[in-house]
């Protein structure tokens, strides 16, 4: 196929390991000897790795280390996953989770540089779309395997995650090359934003829109600007949903009596369906306006979180079927939120789209860390029933800010800027 290269297999294997197996198995392993607070700390450390993505991009460009960093990132994921079941220390386990998160950030960011620095601009969207499809397909398969191994053998599941990440080094080494086609200038801040952003524990692959500290300072000084309000809405809503995803398999078992095998399988189905909703979501965004589609996505999450909260309060004999019916709504709503949020970055950013996307990605990574830590903290104080409340509160707060930002009428896109 024209837009697919053989080394994409490496990226699919990373999706299987770091976005499919690890996010499900880490909470289960920590829950053996720790509580919700410990799970939150470990998952926050895993998310924290995403904040290092711009560092790896800059190192790759300065020292021409693309292939080395792609393989080293895979090795870090493998080392963290294989070592995690062998330790009972929270501090060491947190460090290993951070190591895997850093590895994912490094390999994902550099993988995209093999496209944006070595291929013509006109090919970027198609190639990046296929790259993300490979990653998403790997994630779905990883979720299925996590369901099979999570209940009976999470230790073996983590060893498998490490082995898969290690195997990913082979196609990365054999099928990538760094030749004269690579740009000799610094890594570009892309002028145009891509069509969608990333999942909380997915690939931070669009962080080649690296954040500019001066631009970030400008945004922070104008927090009541439209772009600042939008970032605030995204921060609270994304953090709320990350709280439930970080604790997902343990929370489903503790609150709703759903075993990890079943909850992971439902997650996998929802994630697979979500992949095919991106294109329709883009059409809805163009027709109805991205602010409307984003509000629809938040409304779906508010409704799903409300049902999950009510289930914990009612004397329902079997909560599992209801929980497994409404949790996929939270996952599927991501397709609406992802496409519409990316479009709003292009509309609202006071900079060009690429620079605005860099700031947006930094806020996304930060909110993932906050959400994981807050979810664990809330569950340790008030029990796991506090987590869907936190998720709903985050989505509701985001909705309130969006209604203030866009009280009525369609959002108007700023005039197109000439591409440098």
pLDDT (tens digit per residue) in 258-303 = 999 999 999 999 988 988 888 788 889 888 888 999 999 999 999 9
Q: Which residue has the tokens 């599941």?
A: 157
pLDDT single digits (tens) 62-108: 777 888 988 999 999 999 999 999 998 999 999 999 999 999 888 88
pLDDT at residue 210, as a whole number = 53
pTM: 0.87
Enter the tokens of residue 135: 């990653």
Q: How many CB atoms lie within 10 A of CB 318?
A: 9
| CA 190 centroid distance within chain | 20
Task: Read off the pLDDT band of 354 (50, 70, 90).
Answer: low
Residues contacting residue 77 through CB under 8 Å, at least 6 positions apart:
14, 17, 18, 22, 100, 103, 104, 107, 161, 162, 165
Poorest-confidence range of 174-183, 229-238, 401-410? 174-183
pLDDT single digits (tens) 76-85: 999 999 999 9
| pLDDT mean over 95-124 | 83
Please say whether the dihedral angle defined by the alpha carbons of residues 93, 99, 102 and 107, taken in this order, is positive or negative: negative
Domain chopping of the chain, boundaries: 8-176+185-405
CA dihedral (121, 215, 224, 226) in degrees, to 10, reads -10
Residues contacting residue 264 through CB under 8 Å, at least 6 positions apart:
24, 143, 144, 146, 147, 150, 249
Half-sphere exposure of 312 (CA within 13 A, CB side): 18
In the CATH scheme, what is the homologous superfamily, with its name and number, of domain 8-176+185-405? Answer: MFS general substrate transporter like domains (1.20.1250.20)
The residue among 119 and 379 whose pLDDT is bigger is 379
Check pLDDT > 50 for residue 420.
Answer: no
On average, the pLDDT of the chain sits at 84
pLDDT single digits (tens) 388-405: 999 999 999 999 999 988
Poorest-confidence range of 171-175, 188-192, 363-367? 188-192
């Amino acid at each position: 196929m024209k837009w697919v290269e053989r080394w994409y297999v490496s990226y699919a294997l990373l999706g299987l390991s770091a976005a499919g197996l690890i996010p499900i198995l880490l909470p289960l392993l920590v829950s053996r000897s720790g509580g919700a607070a410990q799970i939150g700390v470990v998952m926050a450390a895993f998310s924290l790795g995403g904040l290092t993505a711009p560092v790896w991009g800059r190192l790759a460009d300065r020292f021409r280390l693309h292939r080395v960093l792609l393989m080293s990132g895979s090795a870090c994921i493998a080392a963290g996953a294989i070592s995690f079941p062998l330790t009972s220390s929270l501090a060491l386990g947190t460090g290993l989770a951070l190591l895997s998160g850093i590895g994912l950030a490094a390999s994902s960011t550099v993988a995209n540089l093999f496209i944006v620095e070595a291929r013509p601009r006109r090919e970027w969207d198609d190639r990046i779309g296929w790259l993300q499809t490979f990653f998403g397909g790997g994630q779905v398969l990883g979720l299925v395997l996590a369901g099979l191994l999570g209940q009976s053998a999470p230790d073996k599941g983590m060893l498998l995650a490490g082995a898969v990440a290690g195997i990913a080094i082979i196609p990365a080494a054999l099928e990538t090359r760094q030749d004269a086609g690579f740009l000799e200038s610094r890594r570009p801040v892309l002028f145009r934003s891509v069509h969608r952003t990333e999942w909380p524990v997915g690939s931070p692959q669009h962080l080649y829109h690296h954040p500019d500290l001066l631009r970030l300072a400008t945004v922070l000084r104008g927090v009541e600007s439209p772009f600042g309000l939008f970032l605030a809405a995204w921060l609270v809503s994304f953090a709320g949903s990350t709280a439930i995803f970080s604790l997902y398999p343990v929370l489903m078992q503790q609150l709703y009596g759903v075993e990890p095998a079943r909850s992971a399988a439902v997650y996998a189905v929802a994630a697979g369906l979500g992949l095919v909703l991106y294109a329709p979501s883009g059409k809805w965004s163009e027709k109805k306006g991205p602010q409307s589609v984003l509000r629809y996505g938040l409304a779906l999450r508010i409704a799903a979180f409300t049902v999950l909260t009510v289930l914990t309060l009612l004397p329902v004999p079997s909560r599992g079927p209801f929980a497994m019916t409404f949790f996929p709504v939270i996952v599927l709503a991501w397709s609406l939120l992802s496409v519409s949020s990316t479009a709003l970055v292009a509309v609202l950013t006071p900079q060009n789209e690429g620079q605005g996307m860099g700031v947006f990605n930094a806020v996304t990574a930060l909110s993932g860390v906050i959400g994981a830590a807050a979810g664990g903290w809330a569950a340790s104080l008030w029990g796991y029933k506090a987590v869907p409340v936190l998720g709903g509160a985050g989505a509701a707060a985001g909705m309130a800010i969006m209604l203030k930002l866009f009280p009525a009428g369609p959002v108007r896109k700023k005039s197109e800027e000439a591409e440098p």
